[in-house]
A and B are shown apart, each in its own frame.
Chain A
Amino acid sequence: GAVVSQHPSRVICKSGTSVKIECRSLDFQATTMFWYRQFPKKSLMLMATSNEGSKATYEQGVEKDKFLINHASLTLSTLTVTSAHPEDSSFYICSAGGNPRYNEQFFGPGTRLTVL
């Protein structure tokens, strides 16, 4: 299967700062990337869907001004958590899809964000 990477794998920041998470599809072009968040002992929750070159579509209840998503190329999407607060602490996971070669989506390893 295809490989998706995320960077950083773990980040600790102070309240009020912004954090950028990168998601890269390493060996295939992904026209669509998805961002999820996961709280402890809970399932993955879809935050937004982004298509290359266009604005992301956010799920209900997800603040688009707080979670900025950019999908500037077919291999890179970024999620920026702006003015982070402790309640934003979570496990953030991206997945890549939209390639006609693959019916399935491939997930990154996740980024653990801790806001102090």
Chain B
Amino acid sequence: DAKTTQPPSMDCAEGRAANLPCNHSTISGNEYVYWYRQIHSQGPQYIIHGLKNNETNEMASLIITEDRKSSTLILPHATLRDTAVYYCIVKSGQAGTALIFGKGTTLSVSS
């Protein structure tokens, strides 16, 4: 059962910010929001995760709404190499539990 809802596809112009939304209205108090991406024929790559505060790293920013029912992944300056399937996953913080993947959002960055 998918715990998150993402648009199936999005387009973005190179150099512009890509804002990928995710709805997770049934998230529990101990569940984190994780973002991964998968470039064609490769293993998924970790991007960022958060519990309730906004997070930023060298790859992206994660904005989580105050009620934690939705979040947005922001790639500040998208490049062609950011074209991939982006997965938003909610999971408990317990290290030994698996990530369950939904269908994700296919982001296409064009010049």
Q: Which residues of A approach B to under 8 Å, CB–CB?
A: 1, 4, 6, 31-32, 34, 36, 43-46, 49, 51, 91, 93, 95, 97-100, 102-110, 112
- Counting residue pairs across A and B whose Cβ atoms lie within 8 Å, the total is 61
Bound form: Cα–Cα A46–B97 in Å = 11
Question: Which residues from 74 to 111 on chain B have a C-beta closer than 8 Å to any C-beta of chain A?
Answer: 87, 93, 95-96, 98-104
Contact of B96 among A6, A32, A107, A110 (CB under 8 A): A32
Contact of B46 among A1, A36, A45, A99 (CB under 8 A): A1
From known contacts A43-B101, A43-B103, infer whether A102 and B95 are also in contact, taking CB-CB under 8 Å. yes
From known contacts A97-B95, A102-B95, A103-B32, infer whether A44 and B42 are also in contact, taking CB-CB under 8 Å. no
From known contacts A103-B32, A106-B46, infer whether A43 and B102 are also in contact, taking CB-CB under 8 Å. yes
Contact of B42 among A98, A106, A110 (CB under 8 A): A110
Which residue of chain B lies nearest to A100 when distances are taken between CB atoms in the complex? B95
Asked whether, in the complex, the Cβ of B43 is within 8 Å of the Cβ of A110, the reply is: yes
Asked whether, in the complex, the Cβ of A46 is within 8 Å of the Cβ of B95, the reply is: no
Q: Which residues of B approach A to under 8 Å, CB–CB?
A: 32, 34, 36, 38, 41-46, 49, 87, 93, 95-96, 98-104
Contact of A43 among B49, B96, B104 (CB under 8 A): B104
Within the complex, the shortest CB–CB distance from B44 to chain A, in Å, comes to 5
Which residues of chain A have C-beta atoms less than 8 A from B99's C-beta? 34, 46, 95, 105
From known contacts A91-B41, A103-B32, infer whether A46 and B98 are also in contact, taking CB-CB under 8 Å. yes
Which residues of chain B have C-beta atoms less than 8 A from A110's C-beta? 41-43
Asked whether, in the complex, the Cβ of A103 is within 8 Å of the Cβ of B49, the reply is: yes
Asked whether, in the complex, the Cβ of B34 is within 8 Å of the Cβ of A104, the reply is: yes
Which residues of chain B have C-beta atoms less than 8 A from A108's C-beta? 43
